[in-house]
Structure formats: structure tokens, C-alpha cells
Amino acid sequence: MATEVYKTKNMILVDDRELELSPSKIKYLRMIMNYFDNVRNSQDDIEAITHLTECARFAMKQFCPEIAVSPEVFENYVDIHMVYEILDIAAGIKINEQSDDTVKKQAVKGGSAWEDLDLAQLEAEVFLLGIWKDYEELERSLSMAELMKTLEVSREADYSNKKFLAAMQGVDLDKNTKKSNAWEEMKARVFSGGASGDPNDILAYQGTNAQKAGFGIGMGLQYERVD
């Protein structure tokens, strides 16, 4: 059974350069989301598109920094269709040019859960793995999809270790907690549309739940399982 943590897509720039796009690393996603209020506060679609183009430029700092040095340089290498493509893959901001909704409405539809997420707490949990020298390196290394998957595996490993130690003392941890598998039950609730009620539960922001929560805006919080 093959799996992928996130999707990638190749894009051809105006100068015929080919780039591989993927969900933005947290460092660049933070830039995008910090700027995104300008889109939300836009007076009309023209202003919204201007700000969305700037969001796409921030995303391009990861993939091709030399064309992201300024808005003027950036606009020499992309058209509006490419801007929407970058935002879709890198930040999960989906704009359908055939939609009857305004560009602004599509961009901010569903709101944003970015402000409600305690990202510092989630990063602190992952940081304890001891792989990164500081948080700057962590945010340059991981996208939200990668952070999510790392947390999932880390928590599963921690639970398995506790279960083993409890078994050594003759305690059935699953029986005592009335849970057959904590992570499997959590994922079942997510995929069935249920909410855990914990705002820091990163697994509650996958797939359709991510879009409903506004995490379609950039988190790339989805992975696809291919049987």
C-alpha cells in the first residue's frame, strides 16, 4: 500500500523554467498567512488579486528565490493562472476562475484557523525529537503536512512504548483506558468528520475538515492513501 504525505506539481514559468511545487515549509507559510489579512480586508477583487499575488511571491521564496526578490521581478515570470496554481499547491488557497464567487470570497471562504492553532506548542512537541538545532531550522525543514505526519508517528511510538512498559507490569493499557488503539480511533473520528474538541489536535485538520476550518488556506494538511 503506497502513501504520500502531500502532493507536488510541476509548473512552467514564463521563461520556460520548470519548477516543482509542494506545500510551503512553515517558515514561508507563516509569511503568507501573516500577510493574508490584506486579502481578507481587500475592498474589491482587483485589490484582493494584488495581495494574493504577493502571497504567491512569498511562497516562491522557497522554490525560486531569485524571482521573488520584488513584486516587479516576480510579475515578469508568472501570469495570474500561475499565481493561482502556486497558491493552490503551496498554500492550499484555491481559486476557481470559472466560479461565480468573487476571488476574495473564494480565498477567505470558511475563515482561517491559523490564529486559533497553537503552532508553538505543536513545534515544541516535535522539537523534542532532537533532530533540529533550533526552531528556525525546524520551520525551514517541515511543511504543515510533514509536521502533522511526524506528530502522528511520534505519538504512536510514545503510546506503544507506554503500552509495552505497562504490559511488563501486567497492566493492559488498552483495557484500562478502554481504547483499542488511541491513534486509530482518533483518525477514525477525523475521517468521519468528527471533532476531537482539542484545538491543538493537528489531526483534526486534514482533508475536508481542513477546508471547513479554513486550513485549506495553506496548510497543505492532507495526505492521500493509494491502495
Indicate the pLDDT class of residue 174, thresholds 50, 70 and 90: confident
> What pLDDT was estimated at residue 176?
58
State which of 10-14, 33-37, 187-191 shows the largest mean pLDDT: 10-14
Indicate the pLDDT class of residue 217, thresholds 50, 70 and 90: very low
How far apart CA 183 and CA 154 sit, in angstroms, is 11
What SS3 class is residue 4? Answer: strand
> What pLDDT was estimated at residue 181?
53
Tell me the mean pLDDT in the region 68-72: 96
> What pLDDT was estimated at residue 184?
55
Q: Name the segment(s) of the chain with CATH classification 3.30.2220.
A: 2-108
What would the pLDDT profile of 187-213 be if each residue is shown by its tens digit?
Answer: 455 444 444 445 455 555 555 455 444
Tell me the mean pLDDT in the region 13-17: 93
The alpha helices in the chain, defined as continuous H runs, are 26-35, 37-40, 45-63, 71-74, 80-91, 103-108, 119-127, 135-141, 144-168, 173-177, 182-191, 207-212
How far apart CA 89 and CA 74 sit, in angstroms, is 18
135 Cβ partners below 8 Å, 6+ apart?
123, 127
Percent of the chain with pLDDT over 70: 72
How far apart CA 91 and CA 210 sit, in angstroms, is 12
What SS3 class is residue 121? Answer: helix
66 Cβ partners below 8 Å, 6+ apart?
none
What SS3 class is residue 204? Answer: helix
Lowest mean pLDDT among 47-51, 149-153, 171-175: 171-175
Say which DSSP state 201 is in: -
How far apart CA 217 and CA 147 sit, in angstroms, is 16
Tell me the mean pLDDT in the region 32-61: 94
Tell me the mean pLDDT in the region 23-42: 92
What SS3 class is residue 226? Answer: strand
Record the cell numbers describing residue 115, joined without a space. 490564529
Tell me the mean pLDDT in the region 114-139: 86
Q: Is the dihedral of CA 111, 3, 163, 175 positive or negative?
A: positive
What would the pLDDT profile of 81-120 be if each residue is shown by its tens digit?
Answer: 999 999 999 998 889 988 999 999 988 874 555 666 778 8
Inter-residue contact 110 to 212 (CB < 8 Å): yes
How far apart CA 181 and CA 156 sit, in angstroms, is 9
Percent of the chain with pLDDT over 90: 46
The CATH topology of domain 2-108 is rbstp2171 (3.30.2220)
pLDDT at 178 over 80: no
Greater model confidence, 81 or 5: 81
What SS3 class is residue 18? Answer: strand
- Distance from CA of residue 172 to its chain's centroid? 36
Average pLDDT, the chain: 79
